[in-house]
């Protein structure tokens, strides 16, 4: 359960520097609020680089919070967003013929996989993107990227008796030759279950909050996924002798601890019906206090080893920063870029942006209320709130102690 607690906190976007990017604001007897920062940066006037917003986010929050962020991002030319994605969801960057073939096939496999989850057999990219967005708002843009092969040519869609065929003409650019690369989807099985909702979505449902991936306009054409793929993260962990599958299973809802937490979340609504909402308010207060506590994510280093943060924060942050460089070099008409990532990523992201060769500097900051509890209307008493804060302090002390003990064998082995 210790592992699950730390991982769930990490996934919600807790930051190590609450004064800089995330903070708990308490007005006694009035409200308790978790606030997240967004900061705007400008380069040197002579550099003519785009303005950059670093938009910290927590992955569950109040509906008004996601509306406010969506409004901010509606005025930005390009949004680079965080999302560990399937392989093939980003535009191809292969350069050799062999790597182009491999990259194109991965993209076609992604198209085939998504097609097998839809009820329709669309004849073109936009119809397919619209059908897929009904499943997941991110999928439409993934489809658009995968529908251009690594030679820059459109993929041909063709309905078949059993599903949908996706064909790249390959290096020669001619359809119907031995160079063709083809993938065919299987039809969706009647009555097949949809994808599992992960722990973050389940927690949002239980608390009457919203889940980020279901509450922001990921389907907009100027929203670009800017993250490592599942395969890239697996490889990064493997290089450090670590396994990614544990993290994925924890958050997907498929592991036994996750199933137990899902069962506990289901009891929140029952508890609320008996207590007038005290249970969900208590859990939200725990989130506000926990996510606003300095050093929470340091536990992941001690629990899983220093390589964990190297991959989850540093390597993933490299992707949007490289995409920003690409925009500066190749898209001079882009005047503003936003990087939308969990608040945990922002201290490292900001430091690296400030060290950028174009002299970026902070010019503006705004704080948005992510999760709030109106104490005047809550059934939680002051005694309840003190008890919650005391329990959090004790629990964090226990987690830190166990993480420290778990790290000692690794230190001995290293010696």
- Per-residue pLDDT in tens (0 to 9) along the chain, 415 residues: 334 444 455 555 554 453 489 888 887 777 889 999 999 999 988 788 999 999 999 989 999 999 999 999 999 999 999 998 999 999 998 999 999 999 999 999 999 999 988 877 787 899 999 999 999 999 999 999 999 999 999 999 998 877 889 999 999 999 899 999 999 987 766 555 555 667 788 888 888 899 999 999 999 999 999 999 988 988 998 888 877 665 555 444 444 445 545 655 666 665 666 566 677 788 888 788 777 766 665 555 555 666 778 888 999 999 999 999 999 999 999 999 999 999 889 999 999 999 988 899 999 999 999 999 888 887 877 888 788 778 777 877 777 777 677 666 655 555 5
Domain membership of residue 75 (yes or no) is yes
Whether residues 256 and 401 fall in one domain: yes
Same domain, 314 and 370: yes
- How much is the pLDDT for 270? 55
Asked which of 184, 199, 231 is the last residue of a domain, the reply is 184
Gap between the Cα atoms of 64 and 81, Å rounded: 20
Q: Is residue 226 part of a domain?
A: no
Is the domain of 74 the same as that of 101? no
Domain boundary among 149, 164, 184: 184
Question: What CATH number is associated with residue 142?
Answer: 3.30.700.10
Does some domain include residue 59? yes
State CA 372 to chain mean position distance. Answer: 22
**Does one domain contain both 63 and 110?**
no
Q: Is the entire prediction scored with pTM above 0.95? A: no
Tell me what pLDDT residue 191 has: 55
**Does 119 share its domain with 62?**
no
What is the extent of the structural domain holding 137? 97-184
Q: How many CB atoms lie within 10 A of CB 35?
A: 22
Q: Do 171 and 22 have their domain in common?
A: no
The pLDDT score that the predictor gives to residue 244 is 64
Does one domain contain both 157 and 299? no
The pLDDT score that the predictor gives to residue 242 is 77
- HEC string of the chain equals CHHHHHHHHHHHCCCCCCCCCEEEEEECCCEEEEEEEEEEEECCHHHCCCEEEEEEECCEECHHHHHHHHHHHCCCCEEEECCCECCCCCCCCCCCHHHHHHHHHHHHHHHHHHHCCCCCCCCCHHHHHHHHHCCCCCHHHHHHHHCECCCCCECEEEECCCCEEEEECCCCCCCCCCCCEEEECCCCCCCCCCCCCCHHHHHHHHHCCEEHHHCCCCCCCCEEECCCEHHHHHHHHHHCCCCCHHHHHHHHCCCHHHHHHHHHHHHHHHHHHHHCCHHHHHHHHHHHHHHCCCCCCHHHHHHHCCHHHHHHHHHHHHHHHHHHHHHHHHCCCCCEEEEEEEHHHHHHHHHHHHCCCCCCEEEEEEEEEEEEEEHHHCCCCHHHHHHHHHHHHHHHHHHHHHHHHHHHHHHHHHC
Question: 218 lies in a domain?
Answer: no
CA–CA gap between residue 231 and residue 227 (Å, rounded): 11
- Are 249 and 393 contained in the same domain? yes
CA 38 to chain centroid, in Å, comes to: 16
Q: Is residue 313 part of a domain?
A: yes
Query: What φ, ψ does residue 292 adopt, rounded to 5°?
Result: -95, 10
Structural domain total, the chain: 2
Q: Determine, yes or no, domain membership for 212.
A: no
Domain shared by 61 and 114, yes or no: no
**Does some domain include residue 377?**
yes
Same domain, 265 and 392: yes
Whether 279 and 157 map to the same domain: the answer is no
Judge if 50 and 27 occupy the same domain: yes
Name the phi and psi angles at 341, rounded to 5.
-140, 160
Domain membership of residue 155 (yes or no) is yes
Per-residue confidence (pLDDT) for residue 320, from 0 to 100: 98
Of 164, 184, 204, the position where a domain reaches its end is 184
Pick from 398, 395, 375, 211: which is nearest to 282 by CA? 375
pLDDT at 121: 78
């Amino acid at each position: 359960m210790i592992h699950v607690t730390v991982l769930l906190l990490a996934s919600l976007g807790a930051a190590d520097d609450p004064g800089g990017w995330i903070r708990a604001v308490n007005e006694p007897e009035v409200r308790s609020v978790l606030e997240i920062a967004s900061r705007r940066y400008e380069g040197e006037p002579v550099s003519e680089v785009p303005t950059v917003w670093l938009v910290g986010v927590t992955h569950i929050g109040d509906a008004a919070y996601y509306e406010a962020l969506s409004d901010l991002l509606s005025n930005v030319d390009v949004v680079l967003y965080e999302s560990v994605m399937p392989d093939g969801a980003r535009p191809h960057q292969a350069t050799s013929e062999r790597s182009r073939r491999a990259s194109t096939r991965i993209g076609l496999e992604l198209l085939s996989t998504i097609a097998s989850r839809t009820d329709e057999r669309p004849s073109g990219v936009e119809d397919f993107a619209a059908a897929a967005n009904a499943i997941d708002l991110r999928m439409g843009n993934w489809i658009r990227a995968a529908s251009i092969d690594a030679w820059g040519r459109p993929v041909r869609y063709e309905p078949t008796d059993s599903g949908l065929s996706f064909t790249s003409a390959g290096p020669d650019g001619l359809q119907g030759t031995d160079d063709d690369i083809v993938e065919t989807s299987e039809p969706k099985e009647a009555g097949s279950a949809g994808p599992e909702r992960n722990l973050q979505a389940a927690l949002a449902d239980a608390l009457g909050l919203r889940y980020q991936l279901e509450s922001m306009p990921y389907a907009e054409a100027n929203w670009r996924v800017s993250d490592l793929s599942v395969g890239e993260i697996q490889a990064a962990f493997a290089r450090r002798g670590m396994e990614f599958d544990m993290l994925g299973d924890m958050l997907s809802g498929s592991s036994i601890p996750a199933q137990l937490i899902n069962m506990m979340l289901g009891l929140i609504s029952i508890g609320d019906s008996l207590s007038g909402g005290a249970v969900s308010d208590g859990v939200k207060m725990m989130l506000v206090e926990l996510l606003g506590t300095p050093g929470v994510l340091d536990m992941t280093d001690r629990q899983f080893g220093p390589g964990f943060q190297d991959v989850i924060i540093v390597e993933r942050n490299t992707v949007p920063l490289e995409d920003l460089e690409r925009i500066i070099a190749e898209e001079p008409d882009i005047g503003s870029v936003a990087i939308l990532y969990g608040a945990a990523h922002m201290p490292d992201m900001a430091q690296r942006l400030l060290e950028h060769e174009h002299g970026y500097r902070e010019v503006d900051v705004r704080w948005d209320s992510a999760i709030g509890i109106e104490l005047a209307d809550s059934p939680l008493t002051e005694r309840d709130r003190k008890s919650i804060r005391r329990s959090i302090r004790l629990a964090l002390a226990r987690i830190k102690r166990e993480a420290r003990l778990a790290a000692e064998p690794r230190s001995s082995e290293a010696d």
